[in-house]
Amino acid sequence: MNEAHLRVGDLDVTRIGLGTNRLTKSRENVAFIRSAVAAGVQMIDTAHLYTGGDSEETIGEALSPFPEGCIVATKGGFGGPGRGRPELLHAELEQSLRRLRIDTIYLYYLHRVDPETPIEESLGAIKEHRDRGTVRYVGISEVGIDQIERARRVVPIAAVQNHYNLSERKYESVVDYCTEEGIVFVPFFPLRGDGGGALAEIARRHRATPRQITLAWLLRRSPAMLPIPGTLSLDHLKENLAALKIDLSDAEFEALR
Ligand SMILES: NC(=O)c1ccc[n+]([C@@H]2O[C@H](COP(=O)([O-])OP(=O)(O)OC[C@H]3O[C@@H](n4cnc5c(N)ncnc54)[C@H](OP(=O)(O)O)[C@@H]3O)[C@@H](O)[C@H]2O)c1
């Protein structure tokens, strides 16, 4: 039986979150975010980059002051060489605080390692916010084990967010590393990829959709896994949360592996 909750920092949250990289600002989307939390989502994933700032602003408008137990994670430092320079990260982080209408970001990720800025310098900038109290926990995105270990020498790393799903498996060793080290592994693009014919058959057997089986597979893959499927539909979101109740047999898990 998969655990329905996972500890992120010092809070236990529902093990399926919500990705918001298509969230634009509208009355409907403000209502959608509130309904998502009411439906049981406790980890909302956004970034400084998303929808030109609309995603963070919409979440800020919908949730501030944030309900107890609900985590909003955001990210900064995306966009290519130079974007991980400390002064840019400080500026983005301060903008994220304003857009989200909060004083402390619960989980802040370095969105990408900057090829021109040593990872230690980018993480050092985020650590300054952690020391100041404007960031509570730190994460890092699209990284290998060496980079995570370098990052951890600067600041504790609570979460790693990498591209991972049924078809994209280049980070298997990172999943195992995070599991062993007690770091939350957040797979992005969790619903992409294809489990082939076996997926459709297993879905039929569980009277579930292939996407639900995909999520159930991820949950089963590691107890450290916390997928953040992106959706703008409350029906889809509820369907995604319902995947928490699906238990795959060992044979089903292996057939999709
Ligand atoms: N760290 C990074 O660099 C990085 C990169 C990319 C993404 N991300 C994060 O990861 C999140 C997830 O990625 P993603 O949203 O791009 O891809 P995804 O979660 O793999 O798939 C989202 C797509 O699936 C659809 N969908 C969701 N639930 C569904 C359901 N139950 N039934 C049918 N369709 C469903 C969505 O459309 P509907 O709106 O119609 O449901 C959308 O088209 C993003 O939102 C973002 O927060 C992070």
8-state DSSP, 230: B
Whether the pLDDT of residue 1 is over 80: the answer is no
Contact 190, 247 (CB under 8 A): no
- According to the model, what pLDDT value does residue 215 have? 97
- In degrees rounded to 5, what are phi and psi of residue 18? -130, 125
Lateral strand order in the sheet of 18-19: 18-19, 43-45, 71-76, 105-110, 135-141, 159-163, 184-188
4 lines ligand 1 (CB under 6 A): no
Model pLDDT for residues 218-231, shown as the tens digit of each residue = 999 999 999 999 99
pTM: 0.98
Task: pLDDT band for 197, please (50, 70, 90 cuts).
Answer: confident
Q: What is the DSSP annotation of 178-222?
A: HHHHT-EEEEESTT-S--HHHHHHHHHHTT--HHHHHHHHHHHH-
State which of 46, 233, 235, 237 you would mutate to test the pocket of ligand 1, scoring each by most atoms of that ligand within 8 A of its C-beta.
233
- According to the model, what pLDDT value does residue 173 have? 98
Q: Residue holding tokens 């989307």? A: 29
Rounded CA separation 246/212 (Å): 8
Contact 244, 219 (CB under 8 A): yes
Atom 8, ligand 1: residue with shortest CA distance: 188
- According to the model, what pLDDT value does residue 196 have? 79
Whether the pLDDT of residue 195 is over 80: the answer is no
